[in-house]
Amino acid sequence: MILAKEGEQWIVGGTKHRGRKLDEVAATDPGYLKWMYRKASMDLSTEAFNALSDVLEKYKIDPYEKDSSVN
């Protein structure tokens, strides 16, 4: 599980940000969400992918912009 929905929130799971809200990760480690979008998005449900895309847009994170801290 990469993303799971708890109520109205999306929670990151199975990673270094396990248990953190998607919005929280966007604010503290946007590079991780870039990685998630580029490398792991194929494993997400449509709903989870849309949630990830919405958060990237909300925080103006370009998943294709280079980031030296990304895995």
Percent of the chain with pLDDT over 90: 73
Question: Over the stretch 10-31, which tens digit does the pLDDT of each residue have?
Answer: 999 877 899 999 999 999 999 9
Q: Given the structure tokens 């030296």, which residue do they identify? A: 68
30 DSSP assignment:
H
Residue 55 predicted with pLDDT over 90? yes
What distance in Å separates the CA atoms of residue 15 and residue 12, rounded to the nearest whole number? 7
E-strand stretches of 1-71: 3-6, 9-12
